[in-house]
Each structure stands twice: as structure tokens, then as C-alpha cells.
């Protein structure tokens, strides 16, 4: 029992996901294995989503940047055609090229923002998934140890 108390104290020193989940199992270490498992699963359900919480914002930002680039493209083309429709023949080429330049610049800007963010999103998502897999493995090991201990104490 003394080792369990020490382990709980050690878990309390960390704000990381794994110790917070393990602590829930340690608190139920004298209970039936099903109760230990239930405590671990319940804590995991509250802790693990926090790891994934902000990753979606990167994906959303990249998508919005792409859409803003597309909007700028359409806006630039609309301006080009409106300008050409009401301009003198001598000004049409300059107005058309200015609108097309705006369209291409906004497209490029949207992609310049979106591509690196999508790259970072992919890296972060992969690391998050690896962390979750590692946590699940470790929680499984802890569960096995605690359930063997609970059965041995009966």
C-alpha cells in the first residue's frame, strides 16, 4: 500500500496525460480489476481529448487560408472584367493585368499560408496519435499489474 501512495504522489507531481490516467487506476488499486479498468478508461476519456483539442485549429486555419486565396482570385477576376467592361480601349490591358495580378497574388498568399500549416498539422497529428498509442500501451501495462495485485490480495 505504501508503494501505491508513493506512486500516487509521483503522479500528482506531473501534469502530463499518462500520470493523470494512471493515478485513477492507482486510486482503485484495492478494488476489483473491472473497477480499476473502469477508472482508467473514464480518466482516459477526459484526458485524451485534450491532447487532440487544438490540432483541428491548424487544419481549419489552412483550409480558411486556401478559401481566402480562392475568394481573392474570384474577386480579382471580377474586378478585372468589370474594369475592362467600362474602360477605354487604351486602358483595358492595364486594368485587366492589374486584376489578374491581384487574383494570382491572393491565390499565392493563400497557398503560402496553407501549405506550411498543413505540413505542421500533419506532424502534430502524427505526434499526437503516437502519444495516444503510447499512453494506451502504458495504461494497459499498469492495468495488468494492478489487476494482478488486486487478485493476489484476495
pLDDT of the chain, 154 residues: tens digit per residue = 678 999 999 999 999 999 999 999 999 998 999 999 999 999 999 999 998 888 889 999 999 999 999 999 999 899 888 888 888 888 888 888 988 999 999 999 999 999 999 999 999 999 999 999 999 999 999 999 999 988 887 7
The string of DSSP codes covering 34-77 is HHHHHHHHHHHHHHHHHHHTTHHHHHHHHHHHHHHHHHHHHHHH
Q: Which residues contact 135 (CB under 8 A, 6 or more apart)?
A: 17, 18, 21, 44, 48
Give the model's pLDDT for residue 84: 87
Burial group, residue 25, by CB count within 10 angstroms (0-12, 13-18, 19+): buried
pLDDT at 1: 60
Give the start-to-end residue ranges of the domains of the chain. Answer: 2-52+131-152, 55-129
- Whether pTM > 0.85 for this model: the answer is no
Amino acid at each position: 500500500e505504501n508503494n501505491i501512495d508513493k506512486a500516487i504522489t509521483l503522479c500528482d507531481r506531473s501534469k502530463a496525460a499518462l500520470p493523470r490516467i494512471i493515478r485513477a487506476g492507482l486510486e482503485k488499486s484495492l478494488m476489483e480489476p473491472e473497477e480499476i479498468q473502469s477508472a482508467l478508461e473514464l480518466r482516459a476519456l477526459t484526458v485524451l481529448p485534450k491532447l487532440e483539442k487544438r490540432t483541428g485549429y491548424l487544419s481549419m486555419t489552412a483550409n480558411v487560408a486556401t478559401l481566402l486565396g480562392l475568394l481573392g482570385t474570384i474577386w480579382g477576376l471580377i474586378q478585372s472584367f468589370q474594369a475592362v467592361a467600362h474602360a477605354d480601349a487604351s486602358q483595358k490591358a492595364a486594368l485587366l493585368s492589374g486584376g489578374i495580378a491581384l487574383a494570382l497574388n491572393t491565390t499565392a498568399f493563400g497557398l503560402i499560408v496553407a501549405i506550411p500549416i498543413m505540413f505542421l498539422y500533419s506532424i502534430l497529428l502524427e505526434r499526437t496519435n503516437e502519444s495516444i498509442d503510447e499512453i494506451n500501451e502504458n495504461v494497459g501495462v499498469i492495468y495488468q499489474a494492478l489487476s494482478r495485485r488486486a487478485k493476489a490480495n484476495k
